[in-house]
Amino acid sequence: MAEFSEEAPKEKLSQAEAIAKLKEIQVGFRALVYSLHENISALDDDPDFQERFQSMQDDAEQKAKSLESEVRRLRSDVKTFKDLLGDDDKDEKPAEP
């Protein structure tokens, strides 16, 4: 695969050199895309991977629901504490020093 440098070339490339460089980069990208397709295909064909992925997805959804429930409970607790403490200064501006 082609090596990429973060530095701009110090000399200006001719049109033919620029086209050759672009073709070299294009070949590198095609090789990368091919490799990615191969890896994705291998993962899609692996039933163990599919099961683990589905399990992780189910776990993540359950944790998200649990966190949403916890946030609702905490908001309710905050509201209760504010009511108990008589937090009526929501609309009041803080005193200026």
pLDDT confidence bin for 93, thresholds 50/70/90: low
State the pLDDT at residue 2: 52
Give residue-wise pLDDT tens across range 2-25. Answer: 566 666 667 788 899 999 999 999
Q: Which residue type sits at 73?
A: R
**DSSP secondary structure of the chain:** -----SSPPSSPPPHHHHHHHHHHHHHHHHHHHHHHHHHHHHHHH-HHHHHHHHHHHHHHHHHHHHHHHHHHHHHHHHHHHHHHHT--TTSSPPPP-
Give residue-wise pLDDT tens across range 34-70. Answer: 999 999 999 888 889 889 989 999 999 999 999 999 9
State the pLDDT at residue 47: 84
